[in-house]
Amino acid sequence: MKPGRVWCLGSINADHIYRLPRLPTPGETLPAIGYRRMLGGKGANQSIAAARAGAEVHHLAAVGHDGAWMVAALADCGVDVSGVVMLDEASGHALVMVDDAGENAIVIHPGTNRALDLPQVTAALSRLARGDWLLLQNETNLQAEAARLARDAGAQVVYSAAPFEVEAVSSVLPFVSLLILNAVEAAQLEAALGPVDVPHFLVTKGARGAVWNDRKSGETVSVDAHSVPVRDTTGAGDCFAGYVVAALAMGRTVRAALRLANAAAALQVMRDGASEAIPTLSEVRGFLAQD
């Protein structure tokens, strides 16, 4: 299996996670029954998942002077952070509320995630090679610019288009090899734009699994979700996306990549938190061996 190189232009956030008996209603003050701070952000989560799946991962991002601990945590997970710069403003952070059923509500302050500099990104992506993979989300600026650079370098461009915005997706779509959306987002996108012209379209459906569509051949690959006790769904989609991209970058078939990512997400939701809950490849293999 080839090592696979994945480049991720993505957010780095400090996640402030509050465990609640239920999610609050508008105007309600509700005491938390638990609190943790950990590394998060869709970009960081996906980079960690790809690294734990076995890929060589390079992360491009910006943090403030309050974010040195997050960069160190990302590096500790085996991610190359030489493309992360420090700026004179607050790092991105998120308020994550999780109820007893594992459902969540999240408020995000983008901070430095939306203050990336084009020369920095251009310089970092100059090391892209044909056959590499670039993974993007909608929590940074310069998504379309990075996607164009990657496509021109012969890399595969993957857009995990969340948080979902039609305008953001439209700007990146011309350069995308693989578009990843959940079922709600996919319906919103096609309602706004009609059938999407993209080579590959992966729709995640939570407890109903995931479906891969090859728009050229018409081939469809589906996987069912595993039935597991849910502790916390935070970051499960990021875990799935990172594992899928890493597996494809390492030369696995689509079905094998989906199977691996599906199992990784199942392990993720049985644990608390986002980045710290992402399983290792050996854990995923062990889980699949019991299936």
Contact 18, 98 (CB under 8 A): yes
- For 186-205, write each residue's pLDDT tens digit: 999 999 988 888 999 999 99
Best CA proximity match to 227, nearest among 203, 211, 254, 206: 206
| Rg of the chain (C-alpha set) | 18
CA dihedral 96→97→98→103, nearest 10 degrees, is: -90
pLDDT at 288: 95
134 pairs with which residues across the strands? 7, 157
In 112-223, alpha helices (H): 118-125, 143-152, 166-172, 183-193
Q: Is there a catalytic annotation at residue 80?
A: no
Domains by residue range for the chain, with CATH? 5-12+41-92+114-289 (3.40.1190.20)
Q: Work out the burial of residue 165: count CB atoms within 10 Å of its CB; fewer than 13 is exposed, 13-18 middle, 19 or more buried.
A: middle
Q: DSSP 3-state assignment of 196?
A: coil
Up-side HSE of residue 104: CA atoms within 13 Å toward CB? Answer: 26
> What is each CA distance from 279 to 145, 151, 175, 220, 265, in whole angstroms?
32, 30, 31, 27, 8
pTM: 0.92
Token output for 166: 């039609």
Active-site hit among 15, 80, 232, 238: 238
* Low-confidence residues in the chain, pLDDT < 70: 1-3
Q: If we measure between CA atoms, which residue out of 188, 195, 196, 156 comes closest to residue 175?
A: 156
What pLDDT, in 10s, does the model give residues 228-287?
A: 999 888 889 999 999 999 999 999 999 999 999 999 999 999 998 789 899 999 999 999
The enclosing H or E element of 283 equals helix 281-289
Cβ atoms within 10 Å, residue 90: 17
Of the candidates 160, 28, 181, the residue with the CA atom closest to the CA atom of residue 105: 28
How long, in residues, is the chain?
291
Secondary structure class of 213 (helix, strand, coil): strand
- pLDDT score at 3: 67
